[in-house]
Amino acid sequence: MAGAGLVTDRAHPGVDAYIEGLPDWQQEICRKVRGIVWAADPEIEETIKRTVQPYFVLDGNVCALLSTKDHVNLFLYDPTVPDPHRLVNQGHGNATGRAIQIYQDDPIDREPLVELLRAIVANNRAGGWRKLGRETPPPVRENSHRDP
């Protein structure tokens, strides 16, 4: 079911195909994240890069999805945006981006994620974090999902 109840005129057929090829639990995560991305800004567009990977773009990359065996990565293409809600759990200190690993049954905090995505879009609209001369903030925490 393409779009899973989302506004399908915004859906890229390649992104639909990517999501539909995943296990059910990963489809659910990807569809939730996709809806959150769309809620962050109505002008964000979907595309496929690197042959099959879903990207969300607006004046540059905003984020991308990548499924793995045991989780879904949401790559965030701005290492400088604040993360006061500590959603980011991978890539602290990375020069070009960070990630949120989402495992089966993990809650997805909608409003904090919308806030984070809107900050990336704002930086993109202002020319991108590189042009803005922003430095990568120091890590708030270095934590993987599997830490005790």
Q: What is the pTM of this model?
A: 0.84
Q: Which residues, given as ranges, of the chain have pLDDT below 50? A: 1-7, 142, 144, 146-148
Domain boundaries, the chain: 12-126
pLDDT of residue 29: 98
* Top-tier CATH class for 12-126: alpha beta
According to the 3-state scheme, what is the secondary structure of 34-88?
A: HHHHHHHCCCCEEEEECCCEEEEECCCEEEEEEECCCEEEEEECCCCCCCCCCCC
